[in-house]
Amino acid sequence: MADIERVKRNEKNYCDAKEAVDALLSALTAYEAALPLIKSLRSYYETDWINDVRDDEAGLFPPELRRGVLTEDAIFDLLTSDAAVRDDAARIFSI
């Protein structure tokens, strides 16, 4: 006799897994495209960032200038998250 529940269970597993794999492929494509931006921000944070923060504090930038990148935690948090992504990927993909 056919096991309908087994087919249903595996159909659900397939659909859920396919959705997750498709989402990951899309996210990996976006992440790969962002890697040069992350590298650039890391370099900026290690070199010119503090000078720009000081210039901002001295009022040298126009008030309408978006300056989220100058906040104390913005780039640091992004770089920390990037490191976590790399650590998680290494752990996940080493299986």
The 10s digit of each residue's pLDDT in 68-91 is 999 989 999 999 999 999 999 999
Q: 0.95 cut: is pTM over it? A: no
Q: pLDDT value at position 2? A: 85
> What one-character DSSP code corresponds to residue 3?
-
Distances (CA, A) of 94 to 14, 40, 80, 85, 88: 23, 28, 21, 14, 10
Mean pLDDT along residues 48-63: 97
Quote the CA–CA distance of 79 and 49 in Å, as a whole number. 14
